[in-house]
Structure 1
Amino acid sequence: MVKDESVVVSPCIGICALDENDVCVGCYRTGLEISHWGGMDASERNEVLRLVKEREKSSYI
């Protein structure tokens, strides 16, 4: 089986609620990132995932 590197899976975990900073408490994407996800290409999605990791790390501080 060949893995399609152009497919970037959404980080959504089904807990959809934006906090006071417009960041989802489930996936750590902003409301804008969530609404634009379907129209993003793989590189844009990967950049969002990078930002998601940073937000998630800083939420534990």
Structure 2
Amino acid sequence: MTEIGTVIQSPCVRNCCLNEEDICLGCYRHVDEICQWLAADPQMRKKILNQAAQRKMHYLRISKGLMSVMPTINK
């Protein structure tokens, strides 16, 4: 399957608020990933989306009291 012509849309939900770890609490991307987005190829965008999804799951678990500390997820 080819990536040529594939456009992966930004996960931005226009609810930007960075926490103390520079993670946006709207899309769960790190500030570095947000800055890289426009120049990122489809493979890198998928990686960023996967990491953001993992962060979101961890934050939701923390907010429900299922975890006390968020594990480090590579940028």
TM-score by length of 2: 0.73
Structure 2 portions without partners, runs of 5+ = 62-75
How many aligned positions are there?
Answer: 58
Q: Aligned partner of 1:59: which letter? A: Y
Whether 1:7 aligns to 2:7 is: yes
Task: Give the structure, 1 or 2, with the largest relative contact order (CA under 8 Å, sep 6 or more).
Answer: 1
Structure 1 portions without partners, runs of 5+ = none
Between Structure 1 and Structure 2, whose CA radius of gyration is higher? 2
Paired residues for 1:17-28 under 5 Å: 17-28=17-28
- Residue 44 of structure 1 is matched in structure 2 by 44
**What is the aligned-residue identity percentage?**
34
- Residue 31 of structure 1 is matched in structure 2 by 31
CA distance in 1, matches of 2:43, 2:58: 23
